[in-house]
Structure 1
Amino acid sequence: MTDDNKTEDTKSDEQGFSLKRSLPLIILAGLIGAAFYFDLHTYLSLQTVAENREALTGFVESNIVVAIAAFIAIYVVVVALSLPGGALMTITSGFLFGPLLGGLVAVVGATIGATIIFLIAKTSFGEPLAARAGPWLEKLRDGFQKDALSYLLFLRLVPAFPFWLVNLAPAVLGVGLTTYAIGTFLGIIPGTFAFAFVGAGLDSIIEAQQASFDACVAEKGADGGCTFALDPGSLLTPEILIAFAALGVVALIPVVIRRIRDRKSAA
């Protein structure tokens, strides 16, 4: 390699944006595009679970370890590719493995998937963008990093922020890997276990939906526009949302205390 090439590579590294650095992001974008092109997300539905209920439960009963490993791997892919259906995956986890084990399995899968997204974003554009940004972003990064764990817990606990957005924002704001992983793991526990407990009673939900679907088909026929579906988001009752919001406020208490102490010290 000539000195000129070395100089160009050095400049590219200093600028932060390079093909080598961006390659994981390009590959991920390609996989996301392929997943949506082939409509893989359409398989993440209650109907798919219902149609394969006996096969799924039978496999779990006879191959529990393999089933857990396979489910975590699928969950990682769903989160890493930002496919819609994370809530349904958590419900299915509770249905297959029970509320406690199912909740833990879902938390592990979601955390790993989110961490993959975080690392790709951080290395591909998070740090280079921060290096090029002005003082306003640097000030925001400094403030966020001082209480990164509290902020992360707030973002994870309050279900007002899209999961994919909370995966990307910390990468731009300079959050460390350990803090991000811990904040994600702890922050998604309440919501994940809530859905897992719902999933533990999924049999009754499937039976009710199946009965409604069969009645619709009997009345209108197979081409009558009958659907067999359940929006997992509808399971988030106002009470649960309020509880999550309250937990989010609790997560910000250390930040408020720190700000008060800093003001007193400055005075």
Structure 2
Amino acid sequence: MAENATKPTGRRFLRFLPLGILAGILIVGLLLGWQRYFTLDYLAEVRTTIKTFAAEQGIVAILGYVLAYSVAVAVAFPATWLLTLIGGFLYGWLFGGVLAAVGATIGATALFWAARTAFGDWLRERAKGTASKVASGFEGNAFSYLLALRLLPILPFALVNIVPALFKIPTRIYVAATFLGILPGVFVYAYLGQGIEGALSLAAESGRTVGLGDLVTPEITLGLLGLALLACVAPVYKFIRSRRQPAG
């Protein structure tokens, strides 16, 4: 009897283990002050070092970048947008953007899987009435809804990673919608990173803090315009989709 009671308890503990590991990494990172490395000032200090490392180490540096990005996204570490800038800074907007998208997709999928393991089945079993209808609607159009959520830049990235875990969505659909949906955004940020060298160099030489004003160059102005246009993608997408749906 006692043995049978222990098994469900053990299974419940294992269900929360992946999410607990990710939360533990985040807490340790914050306590150790890893967030100080996620600043433009720090990037200005080490820009030459990391660029040399990336050029000399080749595939090792690329894999290290993707791994670091994946872990940062999986644990929902603050300011991961800076990693996208670094990708553009090191590898250019196209290749750097693709690397950032791969790393972000891997990390987002890890967080999605951990959250689904912990809460997904439990919440779905208790969803009734309106909640059940919402879940069914989301699951029936999972790719379209996920793509729209990814294209909408005003929602926190970590939140969009977790919410789909509450629905019964195949991992392959989550991965595809995530990768395609974040591509426009990462390309814009990588483009910002590609043009950031001059601003970082001037700030480092003058010994002052890197601010937003240092980033206002013609290239980066175009990148910011791209972000503004990106914000219009989601409503346009939703309008076109509604027009294509049959009436009634």
What is the TM-score with the length of structure 2 in the denominator? 0.87
Question: Equivalents in 2 of 1:125, 1:257: separation in Å?
Answer: 35
1:59-95 superposed Cα distances (whole Å, 9 cap, x missing partner): 1112211110000011011111111122110011000
Question: Equivalents in 1 of 2:168, 2:139: separation in Å?
Answer: 7
Residue matched to 1:124: 118
- Residue identity in the other structure for 2:108: A
1:166-215 superposed Cα distances (whole Å, 9 cap, x missing partner): 0001001222211110110000000100111111111112124335x53x
Residue matched to 1:221: none
Instruction: Determine if contact 1:95/1:196 at 8 Å carries over to the other structure.
Output: yes
Of residues 61, 69, 72 in structure 1, which corresponds to 2:66?
72
What is the TM-score with the length of structure 1 in the denominator? 0.82
Question: Equivalents in 2 of 1:127, 1:208: separation in Å?
Answer: 53
1:6 aligns with 2:7: no
Instruction: Determine if contact 1:98/1:197 at 8 Å carries over to the other structure.
Output: yes
Residue matched to 1:189: 183
Aligned Cα RMSD in Å?
2.7
Q: How does 1:144-163 map to 2 (within 5 A)?
A: 144-163=138-157
Residue matched to 1:106: 100
Question: Equivalents in 2 of 1:230, 1:96: separation in Å?
Answer: 20
- Residue identity in the other structure for 2:131: L
1:228 aligns with 2:210: yes
Residue matched to 2:135: 141
Residue 254 and residue 145 in structure 1: after superposition, are their counterparts in 2 closer, same or farther (change >3 A)? farther
Question: Equivalents in 2 of 1:232, 1:177: separation in Å?
Answer: 41
Of residues 44, 51, 55 in structure 2, which corresponds to 1:50?
44
Question: Equivalents in 2 of 1:210, 1:7: separation in Å?
Answer: 62
Count, aligned residues: 244
Unaligned runs of 5+ residues in structure 2 are: none
Instruction: Determine if contact 1:140/1:173 at 8 Å carries over to the other structure.
Output: no
Instruction: Determine if contact 1:153/1:251 at 8 Å carries over to the other structure.
Output: no
1:244 aligns with 2:226: no
Deviates more, 1:159-168 or 1:123-132: 123-132
Instruction: Determine if contact 1:108/1:185 at 8 Å carries over to the other structure.
Output: yes
1:99-127 superposed Cα distances (whole Å, 9 cap, x missing partner): 11101110000000000000000111122
Q: Percent identity?
A: 35
Larger radius of gyration: 1
SS in 2 for 1:47: helix
Unaligned runs of 5+ residues in structure 1 are: 215-225
- Per-residue deviation, 1:48: 1.9
Question: Equivalents in 2 of 1:100, 1:5: separation in Å?
Answer: 56
